[in-house]
Structure 1
Amino acid sequence: MTYEPVYTRTPRNAFVPSPVFVGILAVFGVSGWMTWAGFGNVKVDVFLFIVTGWLLSLCLHEYAHALVGFFSGDKTVADRGYLRLNPLKYTSPLLSIVLPVIVVILGGIGLPGGAVWIDHQYIRSKAKDSLISAAGPLTNVLLALIVAAPFWAGFGLKLVPTATGQYVATGEAAHLDFWSALAALAFLQITASVLNFLPIPGLDGGSIIQPWMSPAYQRAWNLFAPYGFILLFLALWQTRLGDWFFTIVYWLGEHLGLSQVLIQYGLQLMRFWSGS
């Protein structure tokens, strides 16, 4: 006979944001103000603003997985601290936090990281199982729309190319550094949204469709899951898939009011160690 623990009480502080998350949020807010005001070294300000903004989105992405998992039947996520928005509680902080941040800094792309661990024995529905996996990418979609809102609403800065190859600023022409950093942050959310919905083993997109497979296909799918992230990484940087991917992402960005040149300028500012 096997014993399954019964969780009858959720820890009192299960939904209280962790000090780590509050600290990241504080740095994000302060660096955003410093970027807007042009205080100190603006490149460092932009670096802190984009990186902490990306960290916040990673926390919210994993929190969405855990929250939907909690209300779908897996109460154990509360005991593991997943509902406190603490990135140090994830199954692999190296994959969930460190690697995605490094890729953002060096490659300017929002790669998905590791994930919170959901005990699927408590999830009694295929639809709920898929929804748990979809919650994270949907969070990135929502964040992309929120961050890009000032641009498609006409409040943010836009750089429009002219026939002579120059660019004309439209909208809020002041605070170029802030608007370029915000555009880069929105761009990262778009890349994360697209990547996370790809039906690849080991990624959220693959986990969305996995519950609907036959047991035999699920076993084969699980064999490839540990390598899905690595294969995606190599494909983006070593094949034409990367060119197609960025074409799609920039197309989506344009429809949200994001200028490609503004995004690139924001990512360039973020690399404060670069002389360019």
Structure 2
Amino acid sequence: MAEQNMAYTVAVWLIPLVFAIVCHEVAHGWVARALGDQTAANLGRLTLNPIKHVDPIGTVVLPLLLAIAHAPIFGWAKPVPVRAKRLRNPRRDMVLVALAGPGSNLVLALLTTLALGATYAVAGELPETGAAGFLTDNLVNFLLINVFLAIFNLIPLPPFDGGHVVEGALPRALVPGWRKIARFGFPLLVFLLLVLPMIAPKANIVARVIGPIAETVIRAFLALGGIPA
């Protein structure tokens, strides 16, 4: 029974997580193409086929471990390549490309809220068992994950999307220094998310910053859908 419960938990978290991450990356590529850069399109990355986007660690291993540990679920896919020089207005357009990812997650969260709200309005409750319950759990987690990904990726540091927004807003003279920070993006990510919380629990960005913001946004979506929090 425990193994069945674990398999269910992994399924209802991993399925929506992978789809949310893939949509996030594809949104970057779609906007880049619209603004003049065909790189992602030429490489076949403008597809919802997860195989094209899966990062073994960020999309599979890490989320599975977090699900098993009952920890907050997050992850990443292979970044969609964007060449700023091919964009019509590189500084402005890179900001728009960066915002496309979190923006797509919020749109998906809204659509999911509407679907859940319609179900609740018709049935008077959200199904908890059987195939309908499985679908509901996936939708609820899809809402949570999309909101979390949107807020998480807006952290104003590289390599997050928020870091690209900051770069676009900086005076040109400060951009080279900011890009030097971006070179250490992945180690910085590991430090902020894993190392810092262990050595200084009060500095846990996810628990103390991202979590409360995401919870507020999620409650707003639920209220919009007429769903009890």
Which range, TM-score by smaller chain?
0.7 to 0.9
| Contact 2:28 2:100 (C-alpha < 8 Å) held by counterparts | yes
Which deviates the most, 216-225 or 140-149? 216-225
| Contact 1:203 1:228 (C-alpha < 8 Å) held by counterparts | no
Q: CA deviation at 1:192?
A: 0.7
1:137 and 2:112 correspond: no
1:175 and 2:128 correspond: yes
TM-score with structure 1 setting the length: 0.63
Task: State the partner residue of 1:197.
Answer: 154
| Contact 1:111 1:195 (C-alpha < 8 Å) held by counterparts | no
Query: How many Å separate the matches in 2 of 1:244 and 1:71?
Result: 33
Q: How does 1:1-276 map to 2 (within 5 A)?
A: 41=4, 44-90=7-53, 93-94=55-56, 96-98=58-60, 101-102=63-64, 105=67, 106=69, 107-125=71-89, 126-152=91-117, 155=120, 171-172=124-125, 174-175=127-128, 177-178=133-134, 179-225=136-182, 226=185, 227-234=187-194, 235=196, 238=201, 239-241=203-205, 242-257=207-222
TM-score with structure 2 setting the length: 0.74
Query: How many Å separate the matches in 1 of 2:50 and 2:115?
Result: 28
Long gaps (5+) in structure 1: 1-40, 158-169, 264-276
| Contact 1:190 1:253 (C-alpha < 8 Å) held by counterparts | yes
SS at match of 1:256: helix
SS at match of 2:110: helix
2:143 alignment partner AA = A
| Contact 1:112 1:195 (C-alpha < 8 Å) held by counterparts | no
Count residues in correspondence: 207
Q: CA deviation at 1:94?
A: 3.8
Over the aligned positions, Cα root-mean-square deviation in angstroms equals 3.2
| Contact 2:22 2:77 (C-alpha < 8 Å) held by counterparts | no
C-alpha spacing 1:255/1:95, structure 2 compared with 1 (3 Å): same
C-alpha spacing 1:199/1:114, structure 2 compared with 1 (3 Å): farther
Higher share in helix: 2
Query: How many Å separate the matches in 2 of 1:79 and 1:207?
Result: 23
Q: CA deviation at 1:83?
A: 1.2
| Contact 2:28 2:98 (C-alpha < 8 Å) held by counterparts | yes
